[in-house]
Amino acid sequence: MAWFRPICVTMRSSASLLLRKPVQALTMIIFFAIAFSMLSTMRRRFSPRKSTLGDPSDCNFPAIFNFGDSNSDTGGKSAAFHRLPSPNGDTFFHKPSGRYCDGKVILDFIAENLSLPYVGAYLDSIGANFRRGANFATGGSTIQHVDTKIFGAGFSPISLEIQLLQFKQFKARTDELFKEATSSYVKTSLPRPEDFSKALYSLDIGQNDLHAGLKSMTEEQLKGSFPDITSMLAWTVKELYQLGARTFWIHNTGPIGCLPYSVIHFPPKRENMDKNGCVKSQNEVAMEFNRLLKQRVSQLRVELPDAVLTYVDIYSAKYSLISQAKKLGFGDPLGYCCGHYGDHYVQCGKKATVNGTEVVGNACSDPSVYISWDGVHYSHSANKWVAHQILDGSLSDPPISITQASLSLSLSQSLVLAKTSPCKFPAIFNFGDSNSDTGGLSAVFGQARPPHGESYFRRPVGRYCDGRLIVDFIAESFGLQYLSAYLDSVGSNFTHGANFATAGSTIRPQNTTLRQSGFSPISLDVQWNEFYDFHNRSQTTRQKGGVFRSLLPKAEDFSSALYTFDIGQNDLTAGYFLNMTTSEVRAYIPDVLNQFKNVVKYIYGQGGRYFWIHNTGPFGCLPYVLDRLPLTPAQIDKAGCAIPFNEVARFFNYGLKEVVVQLRKELPLAAITYVDVYSAKYAIISQPKKHGFKETLRACCGHGGKYNYNRNIGCGGKIKVHGKEILIGKPCNDPSVWVNWDGVHYSQAANKAIFDQIVGGSLSDPPIPLEMACHRTKAHS
């Protein structure tokens, strides 16, 4: 995959070998030979200068070519339509500079970080110098063309497609002038032809597509347009690639629901307002756009074998700033410095006559304490803070700093991984619910009945599946035995780990019984207590020798083991099954995540160092949810899934990812991998044919109704007819083409398809393969 390839140095052979699985001895020998040869070549290339791995000088971008909207416009719209007036630009440039800001935009900080001059606007013909790149962004630009007048709606006619045409013209004209070489202007003011393939191509666009949609359609209709919008951006990247571009730095879109403009023009009701006062539904729109954009970037890595694409999570940086405004020295996060949005609207720096009186959109006295400059754009201080968050790579996929963008994992890290064998975890300790329970609930409350287990084990084995679970495939990939359930005292072997998961488990304890609600009393805090007890007692017992030494893990295995987590889905459905509203469910998610965070820290305190954490799946696609909870047709997406429930799952996942980022800072010796199981699961549901499935939303094993699911009967359920038991919860003929097994859980075939998507690392943060999950990367520092 391209994320494992250097940006300035092509490592095509080694990249593909790193991701191939399983890694056989011959493959590794060839791989090491290539890596050694490549390193030797690089040393020769860089001599006589002494090369330091990871040094920013390893990747000297000769130029930046930027595409975007007002978030990165350095004068395009100002040159083409009207010059921005003061006080725009006053804080840093001390005069208007074509930027919708009091000073620098994020692109300026990127240029500074790369020791390049600020990038001049392509449309600005006066005094421009394009030797180090050109900026094609204009304020108001969109990815897709918007049919509105610029002065009526505020959207620029210079869409991303037009910006691409401008770049093509710029490149072609530059090549011609260099061939003619009749003027010193050419060499001093235009990039060299060879610089186009070595340059950094940055994209920061999409926010206006969302704004345009919110003005003309419902939020659900807008989400339905995202596949086309993200496809257009992907097409642009491919066109640039055909023109020689190889290095892409792609920003996602920010939390538009937190812009003062949005809060003023779309005032949220209490249930649609988050803790910061932002419009929740608009931020969810932005997050859905970003999810699809990230998927597009992943697809592009496959389609463009010699490109390196970095996806940058601007949303998280900006939302973090807004959430911590006072802590970071800012005032009201929803206030703005320049302009007026009251009973009458006056743009920043502009004048208007209101009731016979001239009103000026003046600036505040101290822009440095405002996050928003003019209600739409960020201030110089805010841009500086956001840039600081993204430039070190901690919010990027792959997690690399922009100055070390010569590698997808940075040059030093790739070479370290190239010279390091895959991880050899001696054991796996798993925590979770039925998605990874290998017999815990069955041992306590009774065995899962037939036909569970029939596809692989030929009998029930405690798994709520026709065969293997994802955790089984994880164990297989390391050559380990399937994990025994900690609570199963008969025939268990814990030499290679233990499974503390039980079906129905939640992170937060539920105040109900298993019989009442279906949720297990063995919540994550109980699983932690079980692990703590197991850790201590296993070593005391092992010292007795004999058979115990062959059934229990060694003391040193606890610090070398992989700790896997797959839990959280039941916390979300529990609220809905208690008739809570979506707002009420979302309100308790921070507490759920905090309890999860504490357990990870407890395990770290016991010596755990390597964590593989699954996010939660699209539970709005599961029959037991679709059958039980009422929905309107407008709440069903094109795959047949429940939009509101999947949005809550994504909200949970967003918070979980933030928790992982915090844990990396608090646990300095840990390697923590966040795994986007949601995307893998939704992919097989929304694109079943591509993955070899025929049925996506109906249960293979069950009885009755639209989804072949009845919670009162269930898979393997029987009824009595004239005193005789008759099996009616029957399995389908071929579970291998069904995504769902019993209305609640995935089939073995689906679990394998999900595992195949996550094992290579393309859906992980940091994007490293499962077999490399013991290695700490830039994301962990």
DSSP H/E element including 5:
none
- Kind of pairing, strands 610-614 and 562-566? parallel
- Cβ atoms of 68 and 137 closer than 8 Å: yes
Per DSSP (E only), the strands in 331-459 are 340-341, 345-346, 351-354, 357-360, 396-397, 428-432
40 in catalytic set: no
The catalytic position among 211, 377, 691, 745 is: 745
> Residue 694 to residues 13, 641, 708, 748: CA-CA distances in angstroms?
36, 16, 15, 14
> Residue 466 to residues 564, 713, 741, 742: CA-CA distances in angstroms?
22, 17, 7, 9
DSSP H helical segments within 578-619, as ranges?
582-605
The catalytic position among 392, 433, 742, 765 is: 742
Per DSSP (E only), the strands in 313-399 are 340-341, 345-346, 351-354, 357-360, 396-397
**Burial bucket for residue 186 (CB in 10 Å: 0-12, 13-18, 19+):** middle
AA letter at 284: E
For residue 493, give every residue at least 6 positions away whose Cβ sits within 8 Å of its Cβ, in sequence order, or none: 481, 484, 550, 551
Other CB atoms within 10 Å distance of the CB of residue 235: 15
Please write down the HEC assignment for all residues of 447-490: CCCCCCCCCCCCCCCCCCCCCCCHHHHHHHHCCCCCCCECCCCC
According to DSSP, residue 553 is labeled -
For residue 660, give both structure tokens: 């992982």
AA letter at 82: H
Residue 98: which of 120, 65, 127, 129 has the closest Cα? 120
The catalytic position among 159, 323, 401, 434 is: 434
434 in catalytic set: yes
AA letter at 374: D
Other CB atoms within 10 Å distance of the CB of residue 61: 25
- Cβ atoms of 404 and 56 closer than 8 Å: yes
73 in catalytic set: no
DSSP H/E element including 74:
none
Other CB atoms within 10 Å distance of the CB of residue 476: 14
Any idea what the Cα angle at residue 206 is, between residues 673 and 386, rounded to 5°?
A: 55
AA letter at 537: R
Kindly report the backbone phi and psi dihedral angles of residue 603, in degrees, each rounded to the nearest multiple of 5, phi listed first.
-65, -40
Query: What residues are labeled active site?
Result: 434, 742, 745
